[in-house]
Chain A
Amino acid sequence: MTILENPSRRGALKCLAYGGAGTLFTLTGGIVLATDLAQAATRKGQHANLGTPLFVQISDSHIGFAKDANPDVAATLKQSVALVNGLPRKPALILHTGDVTQLTKPAEFDMAAQILSDLAVSELHTVPGEHDVTDGGAVFMERFGKPSNNRGYYSFDSQGVHFIALINVLNFKPGGLGILGDDQLAWLKDDLSGRPSSQPIVVFAHMPLWTIYEPWGWGTGDAEQAFALLRRFGSVTVLNGHIHQIVSKVEGNITFHTARSTAFPQPTAGVGPGPGPLKVDAALLPGMLGITSIAYARHPAAATLTDTSLS
């Protein structure tokens, strides 16, 4: 079944339930259309027509983690790199949405950098996860701080799309969610002012920018102030990591999407004592890890999100 010919949100939500092996998302006029990846593969040509491959999202590599949930996270990151390098058309850039490392150790960053250097795509943009800044951010900024002047937030344009990197893992308030902070929000207001509403926007940050599960801190407390600035744009795609599973939502012209981890899955919101690594049967693991590739169709402007697992 494909619902591309018969777009409806109900149908889209039904297809979202397929999850597993990979789901193809398209965004047109604020409605997510989804079709099972396996079907997309059998309809060759149609996939390519959906848009120009623009970028790939990699997330939550957790280099340094070596417990039961995945004793070899370096190997699964390497597999993810191979997956990117094997795409039929090379994306222009890669976004890593944080938790590059497990414990903020320089040796972990070095190993991650070495593996990521095998990407056939040289442009890599990285925002930190809370695991990358347990020292307050110095080690991360030393390696990835240049584009943001060590602030962690910056923007750039690529192929007509405006990309905004945000940091929401520093200066947590006790008991709270992720936080952007007043300085970053003021910068965002400046960055967006005067920008035409027709320009597609991609926002990426580590922790979800919408509240998925408050008791586990899966959200960003002051993100609503950012969305107040973003709502006038016709196409906004918000990409996050942190929760190690795919969760999607569409609200008006804003599509929210969290990526799988390349390292290990986490439990569904609220299941178990907290958001720790989830041990699954070894045979099931590759299907729960993966990357997201995002494409844009120009006429009309539409974003296509494709999640690909390692299995």
Chain B
Amino acid sequence: MILRTTMAALFAGAILLSAPAMADDANTVTIKNFDFAPMALTVSAGTSVTWHNLDGEPHTVVSVDGVFRSAALDSGESFAFKFTKPGVFKYVCSIHPKMVATVTVK
């Protein structure tokens, strides 16, 4: 029981300490070296996901099913989209269609 309490406290502490960073990172996709990271992101409905292009090359974020489409994102630019409905949303960079990733909305 004591052990369980300690662990719970540690866990809670970890969440508190990193809460701002985690809230941000959890809904963010980084674009670097011609890759989306993470390639598979899971969020809950109502979440805004932000893509940051950290590459020297422009990229786009284009839903395969036409649900969302960014403009060309130059280095340092971002795009955000709010997912309201559950589903698996596959997307590509329309400039480099080898770059493929998904957002799963629960």
A residues with a Cβ closer than 8 A to B are 67, 102-104, 130-131, 133-136, 172-177, 215-217, 273-277
Quick one: closest B residue to A273, CB to CB?
B33
Contacts A102-B58, A273-B33: A134 and B97 contacting too (C-beta < 8 A)? no
> Chain B interface (Cβ within 8 Å of chain A)?
33-34, 55-58, 60, 64, 69, 71-72, 74-75, 90, 92, 94-98, 100
Q: How far is the CB of B96 from chain A (nearest CB, A)?
A: 6
Question: For B96, what are the chain A residues with a Cβ–Cβ distance below 8 Å?
Answer: 217, 274-275
In the complex, which of the residues A131, A135, A174, A273 contacts B64, with contact meaning CB atoms closer than 8 Å? A174
Task: Tell me if A130 and B94 are in contact (CB < 8 A).
Answer: yes
Contact A175/B100 with A131-B72, A276-B56 known, Cβ cut-off 8 Å: yes
A-B contact number at CB 8 A: 60
Q: Within the assembled complex, what's the spacing in Å between the Cα atoms of A277 and B95? A: 14
Pick the contact of A276 from B57, B60, B100 — CB < 8 Å? B57
10 residue pairs, one from A and one from B, having the closest CB atoms: A274-B34, A172-B97, A134-B72, A273-B33, A103-B72, A276-B57, A174-B100, A174-B92, A130-B95, A217-B98
16 contacts across the A-B interface (CB closer than 8 A) = A67-B56, A67-B75, A102-B74, A103-B72, A131-B58, A134-B60, A134-B72, A134-B94, A172-B92, A174-B90, A175-B92, A175-B100, A274-B96, A276-B55, A276-B57, A277-B57
Instruction: Point out the residues of chain B lying under 8 angstroms from A130, CB to CB.
Output: 94-95
Contacting residues, chain A, for B64 (C-beta < 8 A): 174
Is B71 a contact partner of A104 (Cβ separation < 8 A)? Answer: yes
Question: Dominant SS at the B interface?
Answer: loop
Q: Which residues from B are CB-within-8-Å of A276?
A: 34, 55-57
Compute how far the CA of A175 lies from the CA of B94 in the bound complex, rounded to whole angstroms: 10
CA distance A227 to B105 in the complex (A): 43
Distance, CA A212 to CA B60, complexed state (A): 23
A172 close to B71 (CB less than 8 A): no
Residue on B with the closest CB to A279?
A: B56
In the complex, what residue of chain A is closest to B77 when comparing beta carbons?
Answer: A103
Report which of B34, B56, B74, B98 forms a contact with A103, defined as CB distance below 8 A.
Answer: B74
CA distance A273 to B96 in the complex (A): 12
Contacts of A274 in B (CB 8 A): 33-34, 57, 96
Q: Which of A135, A173, A215, A277 contacts B97 (CB 8 A)?
A: A173
Q: Tell whether A215 pairs with B72 under 8 Å between CB atoms, given A276-B55, A276-B56.
A: no
